[in-house]
C-alpha cells in the first residue's frame, strides 16, 4: 500500500510577471521528487483555515513541513525584532493546526528548516529571531551565494538518534537560515548541532510522538548525496 505524504504548501502572493499576477500555491520540487523516488505519494496541502487541518490530516499517512518565511514572533511571546524578515501569518496558523492534528491523529511528522522551528514553537519552545541574538554565533548558516548542492558546514549527531543511524556521528550540510531554536520544547530532544552550538536536528522524546526535524535542506541535495535520500526513504517507508 502506497504511503501518502502530505506536504504543507506555501504561497507566492506577489504580482510577478511569470504568473501573470496570479497567486500561486506550491512546494519545492525536491520534496515531491524525493518522496516519489522513495515510493511515496506526495500531496500538497494548500494554506487554508485552521479548522480544515483535521480533514487534511485524516487523508494522509504522514506530514512533511517545508522551509520558507520567518515565523510570526508573537507565537512565542515576542515583538518583531528589527532583523525579522517576511512572515505569513495565515501559513503559521494553518501549519500549527496541521502539527497539532498530526500529533492528535498519531501521524508522523518530518520537518525541514522553518518546519522544524515551527514544531518547536507549537510544542512550547522559542526562537532566536536572528542569529545575531545568539552570542556564540561563529558559523555561516546562510550560505548564499554558494549553491545549495554544496554542503558548507559540519554537524555533530547524537548517538541515540534516528539521524545517527542514517548519517553517523558527523555530517556536512547546506545551510539557509537566519533564525534558530532558542529554548527547546519540553517534548523534543536535540539530536544534532553545528560546531557553534546551533540546533541542527530534533526528534520527539517518546516513540509515541513521531517527529523528526532538520535545519538544513535535504530536498536540495538528495539527488547527489545518497545519505540525504536515505532521510526521505526512512520517512516514507520506516518512520
pLDDT digits (tens, 9 = 90+) for 28-70: 999 999 999 999 999 999 999 999 999 999 999 999 999 999 9
Q: Across-strand partners of 153?
A: 173
Quote the CA–CA distance of 122 and 100 in Å, as a whole number.
8
C-alpha cell at 166: 542514517
What average pLDDT score do residues 200-229 get?
Answer: 96
Read off the pLDDT of each residue in 160-172 and give the average, rounded to a whole number: 96
| Tally of structural domains, the chain | 1
| CATH code of the domain in which 159 resides | 3.40.50.880
Check whether 16 has a pLDDT greater than 70: no
User: What is the predicted pLDDT for the residue at 136?
Assistant: 94
Examine the pLDDT at 115 and tell me if it is beyond 70.
yes
Q: Where are the alpha helices (DSSP H) in 62-180?
A: 89-104, 114-122, 162-167
Pairwise CA distance, residues 46 & 238, whole Å? 26
Euclidean distance between CA atoms 191 and 156, whole angstroms: 8
Cell of 133: 541574538
Active-site amino acid positions: 113, 217, 219
Domain that holds residue 55: 4-237
**Number of other CB atoms surrounding residue 25 within 10 Å:** 14
**How many Å apart are CA 183 and CA 120, to the nearest integer?**
9
**pTM of whole model > 0.85?**
yes
Amino acid at each position: 500500500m502506497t504511503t501518502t505524504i502530505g506536504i504543507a504548501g506555501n504561497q507566492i502572493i506577489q504580482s510577478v510577471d511569470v504568473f501573470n499576477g496570479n497567486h500561486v500555491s506550491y512546494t519545492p520540487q525536491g520534496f515531491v521528487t524525493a518522496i516519489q523516488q522513495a515510493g511515496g505519494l506526495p500531496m500538497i496541502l494548500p494554506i487554508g483555515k485552521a479548522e480544515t487541518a483535521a480533514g487534511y490530516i485524516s487523508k494522509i499517512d504522514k506530514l512533511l513541513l517545508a522551509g520558507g518565511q520567518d515565523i510570526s514572533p508573537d507565537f512565542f511571546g515576542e515583538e518583531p525584532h528589527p532583523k525579522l524578515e517576511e512572515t505569513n501569518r495565515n501559513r503559521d496558523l494553518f501549519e500549527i493546526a496541521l502539527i497539532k492534528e498530526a500529533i492528535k491523529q498519531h501521524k508522523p511528522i518530518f520537518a525541514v528548516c522553518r518546519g522544524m522551528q515551527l514544531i518547536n514553537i507549537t510544542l512550547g519552545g522559542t526562537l532566536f529571531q536572528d542569529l545575531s541574538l545568539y552570542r556564540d554565533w561563529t558559523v555561516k548558516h546562510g550560505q548564499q551565494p554558494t549553491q545549495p548542492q554544496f554542503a558548507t558546514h559540519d554537524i555533530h549527531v547524537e548517538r541515540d538518534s534516528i539521524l545517527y543511524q542514517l548519517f553517523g556521528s558527523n555530517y556536512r550540510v547546506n545551510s539557509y537560515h537566519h533564525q534558530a531554536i532558542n529554548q527547546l520544547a519540553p517534548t523534543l530532544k536535540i539530536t544534532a548541532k553545528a560546531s557553534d552550538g546551533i540546533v541542527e536536528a530534533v526528534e520527539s522524546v517518546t516513540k509515541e510522538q513521531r517527529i523528526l526535524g532538520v535545519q538544513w535542506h535535504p530536498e536540495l541535495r538528495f539527488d547527489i548525496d545518497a545519505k540525504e535520500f536515505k532521510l526521505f526513504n526512512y520517512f516514507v517507508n520506516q518512520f
